[in-house]
Amino acid sequence: MRPFKLVSRDYQADNTIIKIEGPVQPVFIGQGYCTLIAGPCAVESRDQYLELAGLLRDSGAHMLRGGLFKPRTSPYSFQGMGREGLEILKEARQLTGMPVVTEIMDLHDIDDLYDSIDVFQVGSRNMQNYSLLEAMGRIRKPVLLKRGLSATIEEWLLAAEYILSGGNREVILCERGIRTFEPYTRNTVDIGAVVMVKELSHLPVIVDPSHATGKWRMVTPVAAAAIAAGADGLMVEVHQDPDQALSDGKQSLTPVNYQQLMVRIASLAQLEGKIIQK
C-alpha cells in the first residue's frame, strides 16, 4: 500500500462525503457537491462581521470563514481578536444559520472552540505540526487541512493520515498554492494537485484561490479553473472594504465581486454535474 494508507484509494475506493452539521441544516462537501466557504481573513469587529455574514448568506455561500487566531509573518501584524472574536463568530452562526470554520493554532484552544464552531482549520503553517494533527485525530468534528507552503502532495496526504489514523475520518483537503520562484503572485496555484489528489485519495478537495494568488482580480478565474479540474468547493476571502482590511485585503473580493463569482461558478458547476446546495 501507499505510505498514506487510510487516505488512499487502496483503502477506500468510494469518495468520502463530509456532512457538516450546521445550526439549521447540514452542508455537504465531496463527490457531486460544489460547496462555497466565504468570509474575511479575520474577524475584525462585530458590526463588520455580522453585516458581511448576512450578505454572504444572501449571495449563496454555504459556510462562513473567519480567523480568530492569525499566524502572521510579522509579529507586528494584526493577530486576530482571539476569544473575544469567538463570541462574534457564534452570533453570526446563529443569525445566519450557516456553519463556521476557523483556524486552530494551539492545542489549548480546542476545548474553548469545540462547541462553538463546526470545522477546525489547520493552516498551511501548521500542516506538519504533528501534535496538533494528532489532537485533530482525537476529536469528532471535521477538519479542513491546508497544504503547506512548500509541501509535496505526499507530505500533504501524510499529514491527513495523522488525523485519520487517530480515528477522525472527516478531513477536507485544501489546496492554497505553494511557494515557488515566481514573484508576481503570492503563491503558485497547483491546479494539477487537485487532479492528482483525486486520483490518489478518497478525501474531498477544495481550493482557496485567494491565498493561492494574493490578487483579487485572479480569484474568480482561478476559482473557475479549480471547479473545472474537479475541486469539490472553494474557500474565498470577502471583505466590505478590502483597502481597510486588517489582513489580506489585496486578495479579498468585495460582496459585489463575490456575487459575480457565484454566477460564474453556478453555471460551471452545472456543466460539471455538481450540486450547489440552496
Domain ranges of the chain: 18-69+78-177+184-265
Residue 219: the pLDDT is 98
Cβ atoms within 10 Å of 21's Cβ, excluding its own: 12
Maximum separation of any 2 CA atoms in the chain, in Å: 51
Residue 278: the pLDDT is 82
pLDDT mean for each 10 residues of the chain (278 residues):
94 96 94 96 95 96 94 83 92 96 95 95 96 97 97 98 98 97 94 97 98 96 96 97 93 97 94 90
pTM of the model: 0.96
Distance from C-alpha of 134 to C-alpha of 30, rounded to nearest angstrom: 23
Residue 231: the pLDDT is 97
CATH 3.20.20.70 fits 18-69+78-177+184-265, yes or no: yes
What proportions of the chain, in percent to the nearest 5, are helix, strand and coil?
Answer: 40, 20, 40
Can you count the helices (H) and strands (E) in the chain?
9, 10
